[in-house]
Amino acid sequence: MPGISADLICHKLAIHKEAKPVAQRKRKVGGERREAIVAETQKLLNASFIREVRYTTWLANVVLVKKSSGKWRMCVDYTDLNKACPKDSYPLPSIDRLRLMDKVFHQQIGRNMEVYVDDMVVKTTSAVDHATDLAEVFAQLRKHNMRLNPEKGIEANPEKCKAIIQMQSPQTVKEVQRLAGRRVLQDAERRYQMIEKLALALITAARRLRPYFQSHQVVVKTDYPIKQILRKPELAGRMIAWSVELFEFGIQYESRGPLKAQCLADFVARQAWTLHVDGSSNSKGGGACIILEGPNQVALEESLKFEFKVTNNQAEYEALLAGLRLARDLGARRVHCNSDSKLMILTFDEFTIKHVPREQNARADLLSKLANTKRPGQHRTIIQETLHSPSLDEKIVSLSDNEDLGWMTSIWRYLKEGVLPEDKNEARKVRMRSAKFVIIGDELFKRGISSPLLKCLTASQAAYVIREIHQGICGMHSGARLMAARVLRAGYYWPTLKSDCQSHLQKCKECQQFAQEFEEFLNELGVKHLSTSVEHPQTNGQAEAANKVILKELKKWLGSAKGQWPEELPSILWAYHCTPQSTTQETPYRLTYGTDAMIPIEVGQISHRRQTFNGEQNAQELTTDLDLVDELREEAQIHEEACKLRASRRYNTRVKPRAFRAGDLVWRLLGEARKDTSDGKLAPTWGGPFRVTKDLNNGAYRLEELNGKPIPRTWNATHLKIYFS
C-alpha cells in the first residue's frame, strides 16, 4: 500500500529468546534443479528482496516444486521455525493488513465500526449520528494516507442478503456435512496408498478451513506416521508439493493412543511392521527398493539410487540398512524383514529376517531396478533417495601374518620354511616362481633384468609407492608405462605393477582434466579450454621440448591456483630431473652426476641400495661414476639420434611430395592476416592464382601475380597447391 508508514504495515518475525537456531546440512540437487535455484536466487537478488548474510544463525535448504506449467516453484524449508515463533494474534497471510486496521481504527472498532481484513463497515445507533461517524472514519483514512476502492462497498447486494436471511440452520448430520462440503476420491485418487489418502484428506481440510489453520494451532491426532513421512527431504511428486503447502501452518501431530475401554489396548502400537528389501546392480549402476508395510494398511515405498559402484551383495546390504533407517524414522519397534539375503541386525526390540525366494519377492525385485533404469523426471514411488557414499566407510579387515604378505605368502613360506601347497600342480608352480626370488635380511627380492634386485612389496606398500611416484615430490603425472619403468628403476616390484599404475592413472583428476582425450572431447563440442601459462605469448608454440613438459606438469599440479607457479616450479624441475627421458633412456640427473638421485619413496619404503649402503665406499663409488659419465652421455646421445631418426622416418611416411615447374599456376595458402575480416568464417582459405617463376630445388619457389608483379620472399611447397584451369 503506497503512502502508508512502514512502522504500521511492515511485519517483523518474532522468535523466542530461548529458541536455538537450526542449521540444516546442505542437500545435493540435480542439474536441472540447481540451474532453477541459481536463476530464481539471482532474480531475488536483483530485485533486492533478499541479501547475502555472511554469518548465519538459521540455515535452511530450498525445496523445488513442479508447477502445472512445467516451471519450478522455489520454497524454503525452515525446520522447527513455527515452534520457535510465538503464535501471532493475526493469521497468515494477512498479518500486515489486520495489524494495520487495528492500529488505525483501534478507537472506532466495536463502537461505530467493524473491520474484517480489508472490509470495513461503519455502523451507528441512529441515522442522525451516521454522518458524524463517517466523517470520523474518513479523517482516520486521510491521516494515514489509506485509499479505498470506489467501485466496492457503495451499495448492498440484495441476492446475497436474501440468501443469508432465508438460510435454515442444519438439522441432521448430513446437512452439516453438506454445509461444510465433502471430497470424493476420483479416478487415480482411489489407487492412492493409504498414507497418500491420509495426506490428501489433511491437505483438503487445510484448503477448506484455511482461515482456521492460519489463526489457530491445529492438532492432528492420528496413529499414522504422517509427520515423519511429510518431513522427509527425499519426497517426490505430489507428496513434496503437499508437504510444502502444509508447512506454512502450525500443525502439531499427536498420537491418538489406545482407548481405555478397548480390550485389545495398545494392539496397534505393538503390531509388527513388514519390511521388503531388494537390491540390484548392473553396468549402468546400482539401485534398491524398500517397501515398508505397517498397521492400518499403511504402505510406504522408497527407491534408492547408488552413486558409487556396488556389487549385488553390497546392494542388498545397503537396501536393508536404508530400510531399517526408514523404519526407525517412522517409529516402528517391531519389524519383520523379507529379503534375498540372510542378515541379522538387532537394532529394534524385535527383529526377524526371513529368506524368501526371488519369485515371492517379485514386487521388491522389480522396484529395485527402478532407481538405475528410471529416466530423469519420473516419480513412481513416494520417496526417491540417492546414496552418495556407502553406509559403512571404514573397512575392518582381520589378517593373519601370512595374509599380510599377500601374493608373496606361498613364495615366502617355501624359501623360508620349505613348505609347499598340497596340490601337486600348485606346488610345481611355486617352485618355478621361487627360483626368481631371494630372501635378504627378512626381505623378499626378485632377480630382475633392468636391475639386479627388486624389492617385493605388499598391496599397501605398492599403493604408497604408486602415489609417491605419480604425484609426490618427484612425481610427474606421467603415463602408466613410464610410471612402471620408474618404479622398476627405483628397485621395487609386485606382480600387478603395470595394471595398478593404469588404474591409479585413470582415477587421477589432474590427468583426466589435462589429458589428450579430454582436449579432443572439448574440441568436438567447440569448447575453448584455456589454461594459464607462464610462458610469453610471442614464444607460445615454439618453446623447447623440456619447457613444454614443465608447463604441462605445472597445469596438473596447480589446478585453479595458477598464480602460485613460482613456488611449485622447483618441485616440477626436481621431478623432471629424476624422470627417465624417452629420447635418452636416462634421467637428466644421471647424465649430470653419473648416478641416480635418491627419491623420497626410498626413504618411506627402504630400497635395496639403502639397505646395503656403506658410507666409506659411497664417496669412492660417486667418483667412479663421475669418471664414467662421459661414456654414459655418449650412449644417451646415440639413443637420442636414433629417436630423431625414427621420428623423421615416421613423419616422412605421411608427407605427400609436391613439385611445381616454372610457369605453373598455383594457389597460395592465406594466413589469418591476409584473410578478409568482413567475411568472417566464410573467408576463403586459398588465394590466387599465382604463377611459379623459379624453382629453387629445395621445396621453395618464387611466385608472381598474373600481371607480372613479383611476390616478395620465397614460398614453400607446403603452402602451395596446383591450380586447375
- Quick: pLDDT tens for 495-550: 888 788 888 877 777 666 666 666 777 777 777 766 544 444 444 443 456 666 77
* Separation of alpha carbons 639 and 584, rounded Å: 5
pLDDT score, position 2: 62
For residue 440, which of 423, 459, 456, 458 has the smallest C-alpha distance?
A: 456
Length of the chain: 725
- Tell me how far CA of residue 471 lies from CA of 466, 501, 533, 586, in angstroms: 8, 12, 20, 20
- Give burial (CB, 10 Å; 0-12/13-18/19+) of 372: buried
Contact 413, 419 (CB under 8 A): yes
Span 363-392, average pLDDT: 52
Beta pairing partners, 23: 59
pLDDT in tens, 168-181: 888 887 777 676 66
Q: Which SS3 state, helix, strand or coil, does residue 430 take?
A: helix
pLDDT computed for residue 347 by the predictor: 40
Residue 720: DSSP 8-state = E
Q: What is the mean pLDDT of residues 441-452?
A: 79
> What pLDDT is recorded for position 351?
53
Q: What percent of the chain has pLDDT over 90?
A: 0
Q: What is the mean pLDDT of the chain?
A: 75
Task: Report the pLDDT value the prediction gives residue 341, as an integer from 0 to 100.
Answer: 62
pLDDT confidence band for 1 (50 / 70 / 90): low
For residue 269, the model assigns a pLDDT of 46
Q: What amino acid occupies position 469?
A: I
Euclidean distance between CA atoms 144 and 342, whole angstroms: 75
Residue 51 has pLDDT above 70, yes or no: yes
Residue 370 CB contacts under 8 Å (≥ 6 apart), including other chains: 287, 289, 303, 380, 381
pLDDT attached to residue 251: 84
pLDDT of amino acid 352: 59
Q: Are 108 and 137 in contact (CB under 8 A)?
A: yes
Query: Is the predicted pLDDT of residue 407 greater than 80, yes or no?
Result: yes
- Residues 26-35 have a mean pLDDT of 83
Cα angle vertex 160, ends 156, 166, to 5°? Answer: 125
pLDDT grade, residue 396 (50/70/90)? very low
Cα 346 from Cα 362, distance rounded (Å): 26
pLDDT at residue 343, as a whole number: 45
The number of CA neighbours under 13 Å toward the Cβ of 67 is 8
Q: How confident is the model at residue 561 (pLDDT cuts 50, 70, 90)?
A: low
Q: Residues 350, 272: contact at Cβ < 8 Å?
A: yes
Give the C-alpha distances (Å, rounded to integers) separating 175 from 171, 208, 466, 527. 7, 17, 82, 70
pLDDT value of residue 358: 55
Q: Are 692 and 664 in contact (CB under 8 A)?
A: yes
Give CA 507 to chain center in angstroms: 16
Handedness of CA 250, 256, 257, 259 (dihedral sign): positive
Query: Which pLDDT band, with edges at 50, 70 and 90, does 401 fall under?
Result: very low
Average pLDDT over residues 473-498: 78
Query: What are 637-654's pLDDT values in tens digits?
Result: 888 888 888 888 887 787
* DSSP assigned state of 88: P
The CA distance from 458 to 403, in Å, is 10
| Dihedral pair phi/psi, residue 642, rounded to 5° | -65, -40
- What DSSP letter does each residue of 304-366 carry, written as one string? EEESS---HHHHHHHHHHHHHHHHHHTT--EEEEEESS------SSEEEEEE--GGGGHHHHH
The whole-number average pLDDT for the span 429-448 is 84
Question: Alpha carbon of 401 to those of 391, 413, 508, 690: distances in Å?
Answer: 29, 11, 32, 82
Domains in the chain with CATH codes: 17-84 (3.10.10.10), 185-254 (no CATH), 271-387 (3.30.420.10), 436-631 (1.10.340.70), 665-722 (2.30.30.140)
pLDDT value for 400: 39
Distances (CA, A) of 334 to 277, 292, 295, 319: 16, 12, 11, 18
The per-residue pLDDT for 313 is: 73
CA distance 173 to 562: 78
- Residue 387's H or E segment, with its range, is strand 383-387
d(CA 717, CA 700): 6
pLDDT at 373 over 50: no
Cα–Cα separations (whole angstroms), residue 603 to 477, 593, 599: 20, 21, 8
Residue 667 has pLDDT above 80, yes or no: yes
Lowest mean pLDDT among 232-241, 310-319, 594-603: 232-241
Least confident segment among 201-205, 338-342, 506-510 = 338-342
Q: Are 284 and 115 in contact (CB under 8 A)?
A: no
- CB-based burial label for 490 (10 Å; 0-12, 13-18, 19+): buried
pLDDT tier, 147 (very low <50, low <70, confident <90, very high otherwise) = confident
Q: Which residue has the higher pLDDT, 403 or 475?
A: 475
Cell 596438473 locates to 556
Whole-angstrom Cα distance, residue 485 to residue 497?
A: 10
Mean pLDDT of all residues in 398-408:
58
pLDDT, residue 393, reads: 55
Bridge partners, 219 (sequence order): 252
Is the pLDDT reported for residue 106 higher than 60?
yes
Q: What is the pLDDT of residue 494?
A: 87
Cis peptide preceding 93, ω within 30 of 0: yes
- Cell digits for 408? 608373496
pLDDT of residue 353: 59
Using alpha carbons, select from 119, 63, 123, 62 the residue that is nearest to residue 94. Answer: 119
Confidence band (pLDDT; 50, 70, 90) for 294? confident
On the question of pLDDT at 241 being above 70, the answer is yes
- Residue 725 burial (CB count, 10 A): 5
pLDDT of residue 377: 40
Give the chain's end-to-end CA distance (angstroms, integer). Answer: 81
d(CA 633, CA 590): 9
Is the torsion defined by CA of 493, 499, 504, 509 positive or negative?
Answer: positive
What local confidence, expressed as pLDDT, does residue 163 receive? Answer: 83
